[in-house]
């Protein structure tokens, strides 16, 4: 498999929608977050320097890269946001600003959703800080509508 980010599919050998048990032989830690409306399992894989979030059934739904993320030979973490836009040739679908405490200091990070390619990009001081990779799930009603035309 291609190494690095494969849009809407994988990062390195971690494949979206695959069962997490396929990767538990790797050096990792596990955390469980219990909220009032959902429970989320998160795994940090040390050698790959990524976090993987899973559904309740153990299937990978999101891969988080914060220290390194290669796409077509380009390191996205630290890349100026305008260069990122040039590299992927897609404009964001949504945008919001989120205030975070990082090492005891506040940061207003800009969060861009690229829903058509399954990416969420967190930007601070106009540079990419975090990449979230997820699988775009086509709505059933939309697919049926397309098939009818």
| DSSP code at position 19 | B
- Terminal C-alpha separation, the chain: 36
pLDDT class of 137 with cuts at 50, 70, 90: confident
Mean pLDDT of the chain: 88
35 token code pair: 């909220």
C-beta of residue 115 within 8 angstroms of C-beta of residue 94: yes
Alpha carbon 116 to chain centroid, angstroms: 13
C-beta of residue 8 within 8 angstroms of C-beta of residue 132: no
Residue 45 has pLDDT above 60, yes or no: yes
Rounded Cα–Cα distance for residues 37 and 89 (Å): 36
Q: Summarize pLDDT for 72-127 with one digit per residue, the tens.
A: 999 999 999 999 999 999 999 999 999 888 788 888 999 999 999 999 999 999 99
Total-model pTM: 0.85
Rounded Cα–Cα distance for residues 144 and 87 (Å): 33
Residue 60's CB is within 10 A of a number of other CB atoms, namely 24
87 token code pair: 């590299």
C-beta of residue 70 within 8 angstroms of C-beta of residue 76: yes
Q: Residue 128 contacts by C-beta under 8 Å, 6 or more apart in sequence? A: 69, 76, 77, 78, 79, 80, 81, 84, 121, 122
Residue labelled with tokens 């990122």: 84
Residue 131's CB is within 10 A of a number of other CB atoms, namely 23
């Amino acid at each position: 498999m291609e190494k690095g980010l494969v849009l809407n599919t994988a990062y390195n050998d971690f494949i979206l929608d695959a069962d997490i048990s396929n990767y538990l032989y790797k050096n990792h830690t596990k955390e469980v977050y219990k909220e009032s409306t959902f429970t989320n399992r998160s795994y940090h894989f040390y050698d790959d320097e990524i976090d993987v979030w899973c559904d309740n059934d153990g299937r990978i739904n999101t891969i988080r890269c914060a220290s390194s993320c290669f796409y077509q030979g380009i390191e996205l973490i630290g890349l100026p946001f305008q260069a990122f836009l040039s590299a992927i040739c897609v404009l964001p679908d949504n945008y919001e600003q989120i205030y975070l405490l990082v090492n005891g200091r506040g940061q207003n990070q800009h969060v861009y959703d690229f829903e058509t390619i399954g990416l969420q990009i967190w930007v601070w001081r106009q540079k990419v800080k975090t990449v979230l990779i997820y699988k775009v799930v086509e709505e059933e009603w939309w697919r049926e509508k397309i098939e009818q035309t």
